Amino acid sequence: SDLREQEERGELLQPLIFVSLVLCSVLLYLKVSLMDPGFVKPEEEAKEAEGQGLVISQVPGDIKLRRCGYCLVKQPLRARHCQLCQHCVRRYDHHCPWLENCVGERNHPLFIGYLSVQLVVLLWGGHVAWSGLYFQQSWEWLQHNIFLLLSFLLIVIFTIVVLLLLVSHLYLISCNTTTWEFMSHHRISYLRHSELENPFDQGIILNLWRFFC
């Protein structure tokens, strides 16, 4: 009867939404961590050779496909070999230790979705933890609220980390560059010899459209 009364008052809706968001976050985490991030396969080399001329005109024409010294496949532009995954990854961004998987061409949009849902969950959890704190200057209060206080501080730390990670990735996506390209610009041949600082940048709107759509 109590549950029915709470349902009629709409008090069960918020917990159900929160649990749904947590479940969605877990499913996105599993999807991103277990899926193929865009591994370059040997049988795709012929297609790569045909498609490289269609990439971007500002990339110097004398940049040739480089054969990977580890897995011996021809690397397309923007690909990089990950020694932890033992594969070359298309549009390589980074190897995420949280996921134990690379973030690349195929799972990068889902990775952004995961970070967004995770941020909402953390902000909501932080709000709930904060609403349960009633500060008093006494040792007894601290003994009764120490775990809630530590939980709130932990949520704040994770929220800051996820927020900074999400903002930095959205910025790089709006510029059509990757974490690897941004950090190692001087080491990458197709960027170092290009006439433009970022030959893949086609404007914020088109960059976002091509990434997400």
Other residues' Cβ atoms within 10 Å of the Cβ of residue 101: 21
Candidate list 96, 102, 175, 213, residue with the active-site label: 96
Residues 101 and 103: their CA atoms lie apart, in Å, by 7
Residues 175 and 201: their CA atoms lie apart, in Å, by 6
Residue 82 falls in the annotated catalytic set: no
Query: pLDDT tens per residue, the chain (213 residues)?
Result: 555 665 556 667 888 899 999 999 999 999 999 999 999 988 665 455 445 544 454 555 555 677 888 888 888 889 999 999 999 999 999 999 989 999 999 999 999 999 999 999 999 999 888 877 666 666 666 677 778 788 889 999 999 999 999 999 999 999 999 999 999 988 888 888 787 888 999 999 999 999 998
Domain boundaries, the chain: 1-34+106-175
Buried b (16+ CB within 10 A) or exposed e, 162-188: beebbeebeebbebbbbebbeeeeeeb
- Whether the model pTM is above 0.95: no
